[in-house]
Every structure is written in C-alpha cells, then in structure tokens.
Chain A
Amino acid sequence: MTSYRLASGGLVDRQSSLRFSFDGRSFAGYSGDSLASALLANGQRLAGRSFKYHRPRGILTAGAAEPNALVTVGRGGRTEPNTRATMQELYDGLEARSQNRWPSLGFDIGSLNGLLSPFLGAGFYYKTFMWPAHLWERLYEPFVRRAAGLGRATYEADPDTYEKCWAHCDLLVVGAGATGLAAALAAGRAGARVVLVDEHPIPGGGLLSDSATIDGIAAPDFARQAVAELATMPNVEVLVRTTAFGWYDDNVFGAVERVQKNIRQPSASAPVERLWRIVARRALLATGAEERPLVFGGNDRPGVMMASAARAYLNRYGVAFGRTAGVFTTNDAGYALARDLEAAGVDVAAVVDTRADTNFAWTGKARVIPGAFVSDALGGKSLSGIRVWKDGATETIAVDALAMSGGFNPVIHLACHRGGKPVWSDEHAAFLAPPRLKGLALAGAAAGRAGIAVCLEDGVAAAASILSELGFAARPAKLGEVAGDIVAGPTPPVWRVPGVTGKAFVDFQNDVTSKDIGLAVQEGYGHVELAKRYTTNGMATDQGKLSNVNAIGLLAEARGVSPAEIGTTTFRPFYTPVSFGALTGAAHGHHFQPARKSPLHGWAARHGARFVETGLWYRSSWFPRAGETTWRESVDREARNVRQNVGLCDVSMLGKIELCGADVAEFLNRVYCNAFAKLPVGKARYGLMLREDGMIFDDGTTSRIGESRFYMTTTTALAAGVMNHLEFCAQALWPELDVQLSSVTDEWAQMAVAGPKSRLVLQKIVDDDISNDAFPFLAAREVSLFGGQLHGRLFRISFSGELAYELAVPAGYGESVGDALMEAGQEHGIQPYGVEALTVLRIEKGHITHSEINGTVVPADLGLGRMVSSAKPDFIGKHMLSREGLTATDRPQLVGVEPLDPRTSFRSGAHILAKGAAATLENDQGYVTSSCFSPHVGSTIGLALVKRGAERHGEEILVWNGLRGEFTPGRLRDPVFLDPEGERLHA
C-alpha cells in the first residue's frame, strides 16, 4: 500500500514509529497520529460499513463528529466497540477491527441491501413484516437485529479501574482552541480559578491544523506557548483528553477524562477514565464550529471528506487525503484547504464553488469553477471522479479525493442541555445558542464568529466580561497579529444540490438520504421531531452533529419555510458517548454498595456463621456444625436449643436511636399509635408506628433509661427510614418539643440471650440482680458487668417467646462480651443462633416482621387493633385510620396456616384459596407471608394475611402455589403456634 504521508510537516513525531493492526493487517504510524490519520497515511480509506445499506465508508472527519470510521479496539475485557478512529490516539500495539460487515470489510454481503433501497425507504419497516403475526419474533426481527447494530461488545468483565472526582472553579472553559486559550489566559492572569478542558490530547483546537501565523509564530506553536504559560499558573488546571459531556442544573458540568486510553496496557495504579463533576461559577463554551457536509450524490464515497478534516490531516498529521483532490465549497474554507494542499504538493484539480459571485482572490494553480455544484461523486469503494453541474451542464473531473464544506454550525450542544432552544440566525446561516443563559456564555466560532484574530479577541472579551461579573480585575492583554488566515465567514447555505443522480446522504451512519427526508414530509412526519423519529436522522452515534442542520434545511425547503420555523430537535447529554465504566467509578462488583458488618461479625465468623446479605448488612444466617449436611439441620438444632437451653443471637443490626429531652415521652406518644406518655423509667414497651395514611410503618421497642432519656430499637430494614421520619417529626412538625435524636446503631453491640437458661447464663456476667422479681418481663435498665468493668443496657424482651434478654454493650466490647457469654453458657448448652432460627422462633409465636408489615396493613389487620389508642388526640396516622376501606370487614387479617398432612409443606408467597374454589384471581383469599419448618410443631407452619382471617380459624383451605406446581391442603388457625398464654416469657 502506498504512503500518503508527506515527507515533512505535521505535529507527529517521526522519530517514534508505532505498530498497529487493522482487521489483522499490520501497519505503522507515528506518535501523535490518530488511528484515522495513521490509516489514511497507509492508504487505508475504507474504514467501515454503513448501518442499513452496508455501503463502503471512509473517514469523513478528524474529530468527535465522525459517523463512519467506527472501529472496535482492544481485546478481551478491554474490547471497545464503536470507537471513532478519529478520536483514538495511536499507540504501539493498537488492535482495531472494522464493524458491521460480513464476511469482510472489502466484500460485504449486506451491501446487497443497496439494491433493495427503493423498498427500504424511511420507515418502510412500519408498513410491513406484519403478516403472519407470529413471524415477527421468529423470522423478521431476528434478521433485522442481526443486520442492525454496529460493533460487538464483549461479555468479559473490564479489568481496569475508574474514578470520580469533583472540581470547583470560577470559570470553566470548554475547548482549548484560539478562543478558549485566549479566555483561559485572560482569566488565569487575573487570578481566577480556571479549569480548561479539551477533548483532544493536545490543546490548540483548530490552531493545530492551521497554516496561519500569530505574531510570526506558527499557529500550533502559539498554542503550545499559551499552554506553557497556563501550566505555570497554580490557579489554572488544563485537562486534556477530557470531554465536557453535559451541562446540568446549578452550572454543574459532567466531563470525562480519558486517562489511559492511549496505551495498550493501562497501569493499575491509575484509572483508565475519570469522571469529573465540575461546579463552575461561570462557564465559557469555546467549542468551535462543526463543518456542514454537502448533500450530493455519492457524498459518502470513501475519499470524500470534510474540508476542515482534510486540512487537519494535512497540517496536523502530515497526511495527504488524496493525490488529486477536488474541493466543493460554499465558502472560503475550501480555498484555505486548496492553498495548503498545493503548498504541500498535492494536486488540486478543481475548486467547485457554489457561489456564482465568489470574489475570493485565488492565486493558486487549481481551476476555480464558480456557481457550480458537485452533483455526484463517482467510483466504487473509492472515489474516482466527480460530476460537476453548472447551469444544467455537467462535466466529469477525475479526482481521488474530494473535500466539501457547506458552511459551519457553531457547536452549541452543551448550551442547550437545560431546556433552552437554539435560534436560527440568517446572518450566520446557522443555529446559535439559546439567548439569556445563566452562568454560561459562548465565544469564538461557537458563537458564530470566524477567523483566528476574531476568536482570540472574542475569547479575551468574553473572559473580561465574566471576570468583571465575578469581581476580578482583568489585565489588558495584547492580542497577537494574525497573518495568513483565510477567514471563512458565513455564506448562504446550500441544502439541496442540483443535478444529483445518486444517493445523497444526510445522515451518513444511519443511511438517511435527502429522499427519505422528503418522504417524511410527504407522509405527514414533517415536524422536525417526527422526521427525526421516522427517518432516524440524527439518531446515530454522532447524534446528528453533521446531519441535523442539513435535515432541518431540507425540511424547511420541502415545507417552504425558514429553518427558524422548523427549529431543532432537542440537544441532550451526552455530547459524545460516555462509558458505563466512567459513570460508575469505583462503585462496582463488591463495591457496588458499602458493606455493613456488625460489631459481632468476627465473633459470628469464628463460630462458623454463614452470612447473608440483608440490605447493606451481612447477617449470620445459621451456624453449621460438623456432620450437618443441610442448612435445615442446623436451623432446627439452633431453634430447638433456644427452646430447651439457651441461645445467643447477634441483633446489632436493629436500628437503635437514643432520644433525649424533656418532651420525649410526649413525642413518642405522637409517633407511636399506642400510649407512651406514662412509660416508667426502667421499662421497655413494644410500639407500633404508623404512616400518616394509617398503614403500619415499623415496630420495635422503646425503653425509658432515664426520666428524659429513651432508647428505641427499630427493624433492621427501616432503621434509616425511621430515623429520618423521627427527625422530620421533631424538626418539621413539632419543633416546639424538646427532643434530641441520635442514631446509635453503630455504637452498640446487641445480643439476644434467649431460652429457659438465659437468666442463669446472664447472671454470671451481670453484677445486678436479674431474678424475675428484680428484673421482670419488660424491665430495661443499665447494668454493671464483670464486676463493674463494663456497663451495658439490659432489656427483658423476647422475640422468641422464651425467657429472653437483649444485652447491649459498647460496640468495641461486642466480641469479648459474646465470648464471655459463650463461656458462661457452656455448662447450660448455649449455642449461637442465626437469623434463620430467629425466624422459626418468631413464626412459632406469631410475631410479625416486614413480611407481614407490608405497607398495606393497619394494626387491626395484624390483630393489634387494641394497641391503637383512642384516647390520644393525635398521633401520626390517626386521622386516616377511620376511612371505610381501612375498617371494612373484608380486609386481610393475620392467621396461622398449617398443612393438613404434616408431611406436606408450602412456601411463602403461596396464595390461599377456599377449599374447592376455582383458582382465579376473584377467588384469591390472601397469601402466605412467612413460613418455615417448625421443629416444635413438627411440620411446616406459616403466617398468612387472609380475608376475614380472624374469624376463619379452623377452616380448611388450599395453599396454592401454581408457580411451583405445589397445592397443599391446609387449615387456618390462630397465628400463635406455641405457648399461647405466654407463660415461658414470664418464667
């Protein structure tokens, strides 16, 4: 393959040669190349295939808007599909593969679609593939899906790391071209905190591709000097390879920095990408302008390129985009390219200028054809010539490359992310940013201005205006003298080229042609948003950067109105696509959410606990012993041991809230539905909290430790929710009450010591008398432990229905107290038990958890109606409780369920049907909320919420689990399966 690399010139480092491969073929490029420039230098024009017609496509741009040259880079977990070759820095060992072709890029069967194109116009798929109905999923759709899509993503996990950070600044400058550099310098010199971001590896923007001089210095060198000065300023941060992708509320910008996307083997000590959230007092978009393609036949043929891109490849990368070039332009940018091409020794066959009255003083060799159009680009997989149309006559000119320039669209993307609508300007022949943006301004080409001198001036002026608003004194700046700049000012746009015979593409990637736009209007989809959705114009990976304005122009022509009347579709993040990895940062895998571990976690682990994720917590589920082969064996043993001897369970995950203040009793009286005003010191009480809509919110015990000091426990699931709720009540509803709240969940290790021998065990470490008389059921007091070495809080409360206590000690002592209890309990047969056994014990007693408190039950549904105070004038939830639907007789009520045959079983989530009733939703009586095997009952038992359940004890029903094909005859019963009188509790 012949080289298109020029002998000299460009910013690449010719001393540093890099090897890379494309579709398995090995190539060489230079440090400083993009993948696109290196491919072009090697004469590799064909870079991809289009979406619908699989047309051969070449490299169209030199930047972020590239719609064609999308490749897959990397391998394994580092595979990245849809990478724009124009934005991918070349590195040694880069592996790139073309996409959306089969069997090969050169010969793609899919290109046969082109022959069917008369039948594949805009929206054709909405009109067919409907008969017979079942063939859509079986035949048509799989075919469509295989044919569609671009690159193939990997299923392997990403080996690299990502991170996120915040930055705060006075001024964020987006884009480090002439405008941005000038603005950043002015603001930096004035002492403002400046962040300057640019998506390319080298700051400079268009300066890097320009042959102009500033104060006699070559434009790229001028940029280098500006960056060098910025680097000396401690108040300025320059972020290269960083794309500002979104403008969010409060002037927060999202930006992604590609830290290690330019090396083959990223270092593990740094992220590959970094997400920046930049809080800017002011922002300046110096994002430049995107050149508009021209819509003519075969404008997608490899060899056709944007003029600015051809110039970038020439001047920045030292690569000629062809040997004999044509230029098709509506403005003076075409001449800037033609001049530079000729200076580099590239033959320019013709400059086709759409303006009949062009007065550009062309002095080069190329023939200028004014008032003419390139109607068609000719050739196959590569351009061979152009057909030039002038006043109805055509001539063919042989070229192997064609540059086009249809004018410029200011890059206003970010400025439109917060709802503002772009405004069409006839003067600029372009859409400009929405007016009156708060905290954000645009300057330079992004504001519709043209020329290096103007941009430098505009950058300084914009910075000065912002600085004065922020109270900084801007120093007068000397602007450089620009020479050799061909300024491409606005010219009338050309939407439709005359004489076209071939397919004229508007959206290259999605294969939307000018005919498709016309068809959309013809069929009633003429609104710009409908046209977009119907034709898919602007919905490709470039989000219409090149195509949208042309589509708007064509719509305007078709409808006979101005582009102003058409308006744009909505600009939305992301300016360019952003990876999941970058937006995720470090929060993945095991770090997706934080892990909470109890102070007794180590203790439980030493006893062989199997842990289970419960919210953020890891809870001990059961403690298998040698010889036990199933979890059920362990759980049965643990539950039995609690009923027979004594068990120790870690309940530290319960929410714990300390309440202090003179009005806490009154406060509790208002947040619980039952009475709390007269709770005596030294006593615990079970409480039910309701939501304002009357449904049960949470339950738990609250103990009065002192006159004005209370200790509340909540369920594990709602610990945070209850705390937020209580703070709401204390701060927003009743700020007049003297109540202070503190979450102390992490301060206390809490252990349930349960079983008939629990007192014997505890008494060995508790100094105080805890006999039944001295420490009766519901006693709650601070106690002395280990001869006064430690103090803890002891509560005589029971979830298991046994004689039981909960002992809270400062978290740091949790493990050692756990060990001491195990030692003290050894002679009494103490065993640790986990949350599974805890569940068995509580179901046997008919105690509720959030399985029953499902957000749709009132106290009466759970048999707790008597707890609801009728005496209190107010409590949260009181006022909604009397609604008809909450007092109706057909409400679900808590019952017990047991199988008729104890050898049979059922599961939670099964529904309840009346005996003999048909299995229909109308006949649904309720469902099993909790179930377990009860070693004490000797069968599966369950709790259920069943319509009118309280009056149906004894009724035979069917436990219906159609999902698992399990249908178990059972009986409803009282929900308390064990010790209904509660005698064991009071032992």
Chain B
Amino acid sequence: MKEVTYYPGCSLHGTAREYDESFRGVASILGINLYELEDWTCCGSTAAHCTDEALAIALPMRNLSLAEKYDREMVIPCVACYSRFKAACEEVKEHPEYLILPYEGKVKIKYALDFLSEEESLKNLLSKGVKPLKNLSVACYYGCLAVRPPKLTEVKNYEYPEHMDRLMELMGAKAVSWSYKTDCCGASLVMTRTDIVTHLTQKILSAAIEAGADCIVTGCTMCHSNLDTRQEDLTSKGEKRKIPVFYFTELMGLYLGHREVKKWLSRHITDPMKLLTEKGLI
C-alpha cells in the first residue's frame, strides 16, 4: 500500500469535482492511500501570485510546511497548484523572509499525471485493467503548465511530451500525434479577453478533430473547463462535430472498471456518453 499526501486545491473541490473523484477512485483501485493535507489553504495561483510576491510564496510554503510532518510525497492534480508550489520552492531561496512556518525542503512534489505515469504505477495499472480502451483515439493535451517551464518541471520533452500518450496507449487507446499538445488554451485570459480565448480553444479543438481524435484528454482543470465549455462556437463555425474532453483519471477509472465513471462524466458539458457507447466502452 502506497501512501501519499494529497493536495486537491480549490478547483478539485469545486468545478473539477469529477477530477477529484476520479483521481481518488483510481488511487483506491491501485492501492494508493491518499491523505488529504489537513488544514490546507489556497496555493496562491489565483490572483495572489501576480499581485503579491509575499503571498505568492507564503501560501504554498505554508502548505509544504504542514506536509513536511509526514514522510510522504505530495501529489497535486491541479497543474496551476503544482506549478505554483514548484515555483515557490525556488523563489523562497531568494526570499526566506516569506516563510511563515519552518520548512526544510523535504517534501517531494509530484503532479498527478507524472505520479501515475511512473513505471511502477504503470505496471500496477496494467495488472488491474479490466476494460481496454479499444478503438478509442485520444488527443493528449498537456496544456502549458504540466510540462513548462522545464527548469521547474524537469520534463525533458517539454515541447512534445509523451508520458500521457504512453499511459493511454498502455490502456489500449490510440494516442494521435498532433502539434498542439502544449499550446496555450487561453484560460488565463478567460475573464479579460474572451475573444482571444475563443480563437485559441477553437484552434486546439479543430486540430484534435483533424488529427483524427475521438476525444481530448487532459490533466488540467482550467484547460478542461475551457475546452469542454467552448464547443458551441465550434459547431457554429462549421466544424461538424463536438469533441468530448476527459480527465486522464476518468479514462483510467473506465479502464479499471470503476463503478462511478458515469457519475463523473455526467458533469461534463460536452457529452461524452454517446462516444463511449459507440465504442462499446460503457
């Protein structure tokens, strides 16, 4: 039984509940104990990180100080949180004065996708899979923060990452090759420049369709909501079909035969059920 500290962040308790539930579901089948960090607070990737340097560092560092009580790695499913935590660890070296609680730097921070793509985890996954994702073409979409900046994430193939693709292929899906894996979906401009966001999401959605994908898979809460909710424009601009967007944990849950997959998927705006039914996966 593997034990890790779990930092869900605000999204997974809100708009991305299905990500939270599916991650917990998958973890339980894989025999991973998630200990949600007690008394966790905001990571600072909200407005804080660009408005207040002190908060940007203090918020994540406080959480890390709490996590350091346990000899466990900390897994974070939200890339914005993940990125903020990684960045703060670097920034605090320059600004130790922002550290509220003592922190020795022992906590290993892992992004959920990276965590679940580790060799050991993949072997475990393969041994427990019950429903291969046959005939399903997926476009793996990493977004901007999952792999960048490479100095923080230490991802080698940051221009063309492949670990999610490999995960999907191992579960029997076909991962299409396409050029937009790490393009920006515009989520950070959602409130201020919707016109730009629309342009960016459309590009990604149509590129996935052109590449022959049945669906998009992501591990970012912002990308998910952005791509999942902006498909009306797509069809109005002549694209023939919509394209469902999954969290990678949802497809893992499907593959592992989790009972609540349908519940998770019911929260999506672009309906994935038709696709999964067609493919005989649900």
Question: A and B, one complex?
Answer: no
